[in-house]
Amino acid sequence: MATSTIVSNTENVRFSPPALDPADKTRSRDNLTTHSNTLQLLKYLALDQKGKVMAEYVWIDAEGGVRSKTKTLSKAVTSADELPEWNFDGSSTGQAPGDNSDVYIRPVAIFPDPFRKGDNILVLCETWDSDGTPNKFNHRHEAAKLMETHADQHFWFGLEQEYTLLGSDGWPYGWPKGGFPGPQGPYYCGVGTGKVYCRDIVEAHYKACLYAGINISGINAEVMPAQWEYQVGPCEGIQMGDHLWMSRFLLHRVAEEFGAQISFHPKPIPGDWNGAGLHTNVSNDATRAEGGIKAIEAAMKKLEARHVEHIAVYGEGNEARLTGRHETGSIDKFSYGVADRGGSIRIPRQCAKDGKGYFEDRRPASNADPYQVTGIIVETLCGGV
């Protein structure tokens, strides 16, 4: 493939196994997909379902990825409450031991399915162990309690999800094989050949999110070539994590069809290349009210006091990203400022001007769990459950 190509692979391609570092758990997995014939598939997708509905149960796995499997329902549903609990083999996903392998999946939110369309749905689930406690990787349960307890504050979040598209060999999509494109500069919000990569995948994902009812608020190409961002929000309370997780599922699922891999690694390429974050924009009744800047200042004090606790749940490998360079603050030191992209937290210029609004926590890494991020912010600002 030419080095500056902007075209992703939509044809039938057989991939050979890529050479990846097996110790690097957050990098992409082997891509052994043999793409079959999409035109043939269309013929079957058009077949009548005889009133039955396909429900794709989606859950978060042990590695910050998503898994899913399908259940046939006898009729269409309009809410997650109407859906049965289900289970899966947790020993196959690293979520349970082999001698007690059942993990239960409980539907919590449903979305229209952009792949199967019609009455078919995507079902976001929480994972529960057989002893009735939340699975180790179920961070939603705790976050939902916090959101419920402090619901009267009306917390709004807006997440900026950055990610990198990789080819089947694990190298950023469109980059010269084993080499590097020109230095950063032309790529951020880039337009034109050689300045932007994989726009087709990004557009497909955007449309899929809109169809599914994800509260996606925009997209942009990022500073590093083959890196992109989309924003989800503002969403209130637990809905933030729900929408972001389903948007991640859609991204993996769409990219699968194009033969690309999604990396949420916070620093996919070491050196003079930007890392990837999950900037977290936050407001509540107090910060949005007249004079809300006072509440924002008070929030900074509280956040400063728990910097270490926040960093602990802001994503794995974040130390490679939060260096104080490439538009980040240092991982060891909390700082904030108006319009400061080199701090832990940025107060947008407009908010300082209006004397109210929201703040942007720039610390979370792209691979952070949004339930943990939004949960600890509410806990730090308002106290526990």
Interface with ligand ADP (CB under 6 A), residue from 156, 187, 245, 334: 156
Region of 100-108, 109-117, 153-161, 264-272 interacting with ligand ADP (CB under 6 A): 153-161
Which of ligand ADP, Mn ion, none has residue 157 at its interface (CB below 5 to 8 Å by kind)?
ligand ADP
- Residue for token pair 């009735």: 132
By C-beta, is 8 or 161 nearer to ligand ADP? 161
* Contacts for 44 with CB less than 8 Å, ≥ 6 apart: none
Query: Residue number with the shortest CB distance to ligand ADP?
Result: 158
Does residue 279 touch ligand ADP according to CB under 6 A?
yes
Q: What would the x/- binding string for Mn ion be over residues 226 to 255, using CB under 5 A?
A: ---x--------------------------
Cα–Cα dist 88/123, whole Å? 14
Other Cβ atoms less than 10 A from the Cβ of 311: the count is 19
- Selected from 114, 172, 225, 234, the binder of ligand ADP by CB under 6 A is 234
Residue from the set 127, 168, 231, 263 that interacts with ligand ADP by CB under 6 A? 231
Min. distance of Cβ 233 from ligand ADP in angstroms? 4
Of residues 187, 192, 186, 239, the one with CA closest to residue 216: 239
Residue nearest to Mn ion according to CB distances in the complex = 279
**Which is it for the CA torsion 343, 347, 350, 353, positive or negative?**
negative
Q: Which of 56, 242 has the CB closer to ligand ADP?
A: 242
Number of CB atoms found within 10 A of residue 231's CB: 18
Interface with ligand ADP, residue 162, by CB under 6 A:
no
340 in Cβ contact with 330 (< 8 Å): no
Residue 150 binding Mn ion, by CB under 5 A: no
Q: What are phi and psi of 239, to 5 degrees?
A: -60, -25
Q: Does 113 bind Mn ion (CB under 5 A)?
A: no
Contact 338, 352 (CB under 8 A): yes
When asked if residue 326 is in the footprint of ligand ADP (CB under 6 A), the reply is: no
Residue spans of alpha helices (H) in the chain:
38-45, 140-149, 199-212, 239-258, 285-288, 293-305, 307-312, 349-354, 370-382
# residues contacting ligand ADP (CB under 6 A): 15
The residue among 296, 158, 169 whose CA lies nearest residue 232 is: 158
Q: What is the rounded distance in angstroms from the CA atom of residue 13 to the CA atom of residue 11?
A: 6
- How many residues of this chain interact with Mn ion, rule: CB under 5 A? 3
283 DSSP 8-state letter: E
Binding residue for ligand ADP, selected from 59, 111, 137, 157, defined by CB under 6 A: 157
Candidates 68, 138, 283, 366: give the one binding ligand ADP (CB under 6 A).
283
Interface contacts to Mn ion, rule CB under 5 A: 160, 229, 279
Interface contacts to ligand ADP, rule CB under 6 A: 156-158, 160, 217, 231, 233-234, 279, 281-283, 357-358, 360
